[in-house]
Structure 1
Amino acid sequence: MYNNTRATGTWYERKSAEYLKGQGLFILKYNYRCRHGEIDLIARDNEYLVFIEVKYRKGSWSGRALEAVNFAKQKTICKVARYFLAVEYHNVDIPCRFDVVGIDDKKVYWVKNAFEYMN
């Protein structure tokens, strides 16, 4: 379908965004980047600001998609979220959560509050 992993990732991030919109989330940002890293999607879910990591796996030989969001990746996401909150919300106290969308072949798994914020 695609000739490189970035294009494939972008395609599945867009598909995940459509899925999440169908679940009532409002997507604010796609591929938010800063010096600390990247967050695939940033959305609103009622009162929550949601930072979302999307992972896709074509087959199980490289592990499940959800397993790819390891401790190091979680820490990076938290750093980017902290930066986003400082720049865009001027550190206003707003409830946040960290979700993960895993796509194994064609099956979508959405884990709300997949991990806690860490410094």
Structure 2
Amino acid sequence: MTSPDPAHALAHAAQRRAVRKRRRRAAARPSGAAPPAARSPAQQAGDRAEDRALAWLRAAGLRLVARNASCRAGEIDLIMQDGAVLVFVEVRARTAARYGGAAASVTPAKQRRLALAARHFLHTRWRGPLPPCRFDVLAFEAAGPPRWIRHAFDATLA
């Protein structure tokens, strides 16, 4: 029998240490408590932008239906009710206007993912007849008030 590859042995030892470390952390948590969610600085900035967007939209008379609704296709930052219309809101924030700014970062691929996530939300969590829907973008640039783009793009949700 040949001796194991040294790189394999090192990787296996590192894996065993990681498992022991996870077990120690899990044992230190109270029973049933979820592990703490570590948020990167970029994620924290995104959370602050979503908070500002929510306050902005509420001041404009919209009502919150759901926040951070996610599925395999993607995540919808805010789902709001504007009268009879259900509004799926994408919040974008940029510190610099390079590459077109915040609003331009909602690419056709992102629009497709948002439409798929909205369809999933409507089919799994919405009760009652399908309401009229629209997609809005609330873009925060480095300076100035946010730019609210109503009907930012069209998508078929049926």
Q: Give a deviation string over 1:21-54, Cα, whole Å, max 9, x none.
A: 0000001111111121100000000010000000
Deviation at 1:118, TM superposition (A): 4.2
Normalising by the residue count of structure 1, what TM-score does the alignment of the two structures yield? Answer: 0.92
Aligned residue number for residue 113 of structure 1: 151
Deviates more, 1:84-93 or 1:12-21: 84-93
Aligned residue number for residue 70 of structure 1: 107
Higher helix share: 2
**Stretches of structure 1 lacking an aligned partner (at least 5 in a row):** none
Q: How many Å separate the matches in 1 of 2:40 and 2:59?
A: 29
Deviation at 1:93, TM superposition (A): 2.4
Deviation at 1:105, TM superposition (A): 1.1
Q: 1:55 aligns with which of 92, 96, 121?
A: 92
Q: Give a deviation string over 1:45-68, Cα, whole Å, max 9, x none.
A: 001000000000111124311000
Q: How many Å separate the matches in 2 of 1:94 and 1:86?
A: 12
Aligned residue number for residue 55 of structure 2: 18
- RMSD over aligned CA atoms reads 1.7
Alignment-mate amino acid for residue 21 of structure 1: R
Higher strand share: 1
Q: How many Å separate the matches in 1 of 2:108 and 2:50?
A: 21
Q: Give a deviation string over 1:6-32, Cα, whole Å, max 9, x none.
A: 110011011000000000000111111
- The alignment status of 1:86 with 2:129, answered yes or no, reads no
Deviation at 1:91, TM superposition (A): 7.3
| Matched-pair identity in % | 34
Bigger CA radius of gyration: 2
Q: How many Å separate the matches in 1 of 2:155 and 2:40?
A: 35
Q: How many Å separate the matches in 2 of 1:96 and 1:118?
A: 10
Aligned residue number for residue 103 of structure 1: 140
**Stretches of structure 2 lacking an aligned partner (at least 5 in a row):** 1-38
Higher relative contact order (CA 8 A, sep 6+): 1
